[in-house]
Structure 1
Amino acid sequence: MRELVVLGTASQVPTRHRNHNGYVLRWDEEAILFDPGEGTQRQMLMAGLAVTPLKRICITHFHGDHSLGLPGVLQRISLDKVQHPVTVHYPAEGQEFYDRLRHATSYWDNADIRAAPAGGAIFETETPAGRLTALPLSHSLPTYGYRLAEPDTRRMVAAKLADHGIAGPAVGELQRTGRLGDVTLEQVSEPRPGQTFAFVMDTGLCDNVYALADGADLLVIESTFLDEDAELAAMVGHLTAAQAGKVAAESGVRTLVLTHFSQRYPDADLFREQAGRHFDGDLVLAEDLMRVPVPPRR
């Protein structure tokens, strides 16, 4: 199971139909929560998600619509007595805000919550799901985007194994060692490209937006403004729908998810229209409680 569960799609101000931000990436046995805005705990309930599977929480920056839901989620993790550690990533420069949110109220804190702040020009860590990279973006306070990249592997080909008379436990030995007698792993397998997920929020256009999006199978990206407000978007450190579409097209993205819509626009279809002028791949206009599958392997 690899899918994105959208919990909220509003920007600074929620609406009747759009909650503040919140996104859960379900990646096999991993579950990662991105940018838990206010109301995330309830949105998870509405989406049929428990906090128990969460292994990691990634916060792009400490504006309220991206982080005010963190205290409730952490307290629920403690209440449910989640047995495994939960790692929280966030901009290191925002340590003061993290500390406040971590203990925003009194509660029985019996969960293993591990802080792992991201800092510098690049932050990388290996996870069971793949390499998680955080890169700084261009916003009004320290902000990081995230990229999860599964390593490339090889897929065994049954016909090629049969041609070389390899079966049973010998297949596992060949996978472990890379060679069995005169037969190499490359002779009986084919490349299995890893999948990549990218998450870009609250930023003006910059090189790291493209670095995060490069070749992503699934890109979740803010498109707060429409073209007519491009000057305002640049001034406050946000993207337009057209810019998001161009980034996806130029970066070779397969599925583009637009989100983080300003409440000033009554017709959300305009975001799809303006992004679609540049991107002709699979384009999704995010709605609260929507589920978006990670596309099949290339």
Structure 2
Amino acid sequence: MSARELIVLGTSSQVPTRYRNHNGYLLRWDEEGLLFDPGEGTQRQMIYAEVTVTQVTRILVTHFHGDHCLGLAGLHQRISLDRVPHEIDVHFPASGQVFYERMRYASIYHEVGKVAPRPIRGEGVIHETDKLTITARRLDHGVECFGYRLQERDGRTMLPEKLAAAGVKGPAIKQLIRDGSIEIDGRIVKLDDVSLFKPGQGFAMIMDTRMCDSAIELARGADLVLCESTYLSSEEREARAHGHLTAKQAGIIAREAGARRLVLTHFSQRYGSTKPFVEEAKSVWPEGDVVAVRDGDRVSVPKRLGATD
């Protein structure tokens, strides 16, 4: 099983259907488990998907419309019930903190789980490690709404046989990585001589927005883009009025951003089939990799681009 994959828990928009639950998306990314927009019924969907709350390391809410957040009440209680051993950060727009607190303490329970609210007060970096960065950007919706971007840092794959041939070993390897070159027995060994560039992978989460520059920037060069496509182009005027995208607009975002794989979701209950959504997105991005997901789907992050790709 891929260590980097998107597990789709719900794909409906405001109204769930017989086949689509409210939103919910778990991104497995190495040791991280990022749960985005847990709508009503997320606990149940996690059981169907065979994932547990102990796999969640942080929760990220784009905005406080119910289909994106009503599952928070049950999840907070489940975190305590299951005695999750690690702290879970919860990121959300600061303007909706009152709603977050109401859901966190919606009913009586014995709170023993370790949860750290992280209200977002502006665009920028919201989490950073030596391996990755998560940033938030404002989208264009009827209420304050943030999109998220996870970006892995670029790295290097060291080539043991070339290191050995160049006589670089032990502490000298760290020095070479840090400085970019090192002198060994009167010879200059460059990092490029003994390693391959490993470009960092990226994931973008774009929910509930009209067409805007922020959506394109979030998706810029991303390997996997999860994007709302509530409507088809026949309802473009309605989409704009309600602060949403059409499938065609999602395709334009992916194309303009140079993304690698586009995942369409957040479908209005009026549509029975998602096939037209893929067709619309590909009409403006014919070479694109487009997937319209169903509840329970798992979508892998595309393999890393090589140094020469």
What secondary structure does 1:71 align onto? helix
Which range is displaced more, 129-138 or 39-48? 129-138
- Mapped partners of 2:130, 2:84: distance in 1: 18
String of CA shifts for 1:203-256, please: whole Å, max 9, x gaps. 011110011010000000000000000001001100000000011011111010
- Mapped partners of 1:26, 1:293: distance in 2: 9
Q: Structure 2: give runs of 5+ residues left out of the alignment.
A: none
Residue type at the aligned position of 1:114? A
Residue type at the aligned position of 1:190? L
Residue in structure 1 matched with residue 63 of structure 2 by the alignment: 61
Note if contact 2:60-2:91 (Cα within 8 Å) is conserved in structure 1: yes
* 1:283 to 2:287 alignment: no
Residue in structure 1 matched with residue 259 of structure 2 by the alignment: 253
Aligned pairs for 1:219-298 within 5 A = 219-279=225-285, 280-298=287-305
Q: TM-score, normalised by structure 1?
A: 0.95
Q: 1:111: Cα distance to partner? A: 1.2
Which range is displaced more, 271-280 or 42-51? 271-280
Q: Structure 1: give runs of 5+ residues left out of the alignment.
A: none
Sequence identity, in percent?
53
Residue in structure 2 matched with residue 122 of structure 1 by the alignment: 124
Q: 1:151: Cα distance to partner? A: 0.6
Which range is displaced more, 175-184 or 201-210? 175-184
Note if contact 2:125-2:133 (Cα within 8 Å) is conserved in structure 1: no
- Mapped partners of 2:15, 2:221: distance in 1: 32
Distance 1:128 1:159, change over 3 A: closer
Residue in structure 1 matched with residue 13 of structure 2 by the alignment: 11
Q: 1:157: Cα distance to partner? A: 2.3
Residue type at the aligned position of 1:47? A
Aligned residues between the structures: 298
Residue type at the aligned position of 2:301? V
- Mapped partners of 1:127, 1:100: distance in 2: 31
Q: CA RMSD in A?
A: 1.6
Note if contact 2:123-2:135 (Cα within 8 Å) is conserved in structure 1: no
What secondary structure does 1:116 align onto? strand
* 1:132 to 2:134 alignment: yes
What secondary structure does 1:245 align onto? helix
Aligned pairs for 1:63-212 within 5 A = 63-127=65-129, 130-167=132-169, 170-171=172-173, 174-175=176-177, 178-181=180-183, 182-212=188-218
Note if contact 2:152-2:202 (Cα within 8 Å) is conserved in structure 1: yes
- Mapped partners of 1:236, 1:122: distance in 2: 26
